[in-house]
Amino acid sequence: MPAVREETMDVRSDEDVMRVRQVTRQWAIDLGFSLIDQTKIVTAASELARNALIYGGGGITRFEALHEGARRGLRLTFEDKGPGIADVAQAMRDGFTSGSGLGLGLGGARRLSNEFDIVSAPGQGTTVRIARWK
């Protein structure tokens, strides 16, 4: 589905993770999301941007506004060129962590999103894409 608006940001520091939260909030407001939907996608974005920073050694976040008929959605893509994940299924389980996170990042972000997919392999980096519809 073509995005009607797009923006990309670097994620290289704690401050960048915070900025990803702020930009996600603004996009969600612009798309007319309710406060609860805003909070959910901002929280998911925070988890995934932090993952890209901590596990992926930094990366990018892409924001896309989706219009499908009358439906409005926000798609976020988090890409890093880090070491990748050998066992994605294991990484999705709550409590699993290989860095300094709590291990709720991936599973939690999936529960807070309407759509979630992840592509990762050792040496190939990690790409996580989520969408939330209004």
Partner 1 sequence: MRDGKPPAERIPILKMGEFLLVTIQVEMHDRLVMGLQDELTQQIVQHRARGVLIDISALEIVDSFIGRALGNIAKMARVLDAETVVVGMQPAVAITLVELGLNLEGVRTALNAEKGMALMRRGFDAR
Task: Select from 36-44, 56-64, 67-75, 79-87 the region that touches partner 1 (CB under 8 A).
Answer: 36-44
Stretch that binds partner 1, among 16-24, 61-69, 114-122, 126-134 (CB under 8 A): 16-24
Q: What does the DSSP assignment read for the chain? A: --EEEEEEEEE-SHHHHHHHHHHHHHHHHHTT--HHHHHHHHHHHHHHHHHHHHTTSSEEEEEEEEEETTEEEEEEEEEE-SS--S-HHHHHSTT--SSSS-S-HHHHHHHT-SEEEEEE-TTS-EEEEEEEE-
Least distance in Å: CB of 54 to partner 1?
Answer: 9
Question: Of 22 and 98, which has the nearer Cβ to partner 1?
Answer: 22
Query: Which 70-129 positions form the footprint of partner 1 (CB under 8 A)?
Result: 94, 101-102, 104-105, 107-108, 111-112
21: contact with partner 1 by CB under 8 A:
yes
Give the max Cα distance, the chain. 42
Which residue ranges make up the site for partner 1 (CB under 8 A)? 14-15, 17-19, 21-23, 25-26, 35-36, 38-40, 42-43, 46-47, 50, 94, 101-102, 104-105, 107-108, 111-112
